Amino acid sequence: MDMYDKKGRAVLCGANAYEEKYYFNKEQFGNIPKSIQDELHVICVLFTEECGGIFTMVFEEDGSISMDSFAEETDYLYDEVSAGLLMGEVQRKRQDLFEALSMYYRTFVLHLPVDKD
């Protein structure tokens, strides 16, 4: 997995069910606390165990977090609808985590001023 995806977004982490591998972008985000890195690891691996395919979490240009899931062309067991539903569930349940990561990215990577609201 690369540090940036095809759209130029910074890859935070991801998992690949085909290779049974997890990736965390330590070069750019190695200073994120270990407990959060562990939580991201669990999210990614459980996602690919349930849905299969390849799952990534990326930072958008504005600092928000996006999740992507896709399958190889020959993977007929991958269910795109279930993957979409699971991403929505992860987004809802981990909203605080995603907001904290977005704040981290905007502050330490984009060097934007901290919003005091």
Give the domain ranges of the chain.
10-109
Q: Give CA 73 to chain center in angstroms.
A: 22
- Separation of alpha carbons 25 and 13, rounded Å: 6
Q: Measuring CA to CA, which residue among 89, 77, 12 is closest to residue 46? A: 89
- Residue-wise pLDDT for 66-87, tens only, equals 999 999 999 998 989 999 999 9
Burial 9-41 (b: 16+ CB within 10 A, else e): bbbbbbbbbeeeebbbbeebbeebeeeeeeebe
CA 25, CA 32: separation in Å to the nearest integer?
10
The residues of the chain scoring below 50 in pLDDT are: none
Statement: the pTM of the whole predicted model exceeds 0.75? yes
pLDDT confidence of residue 115? 67
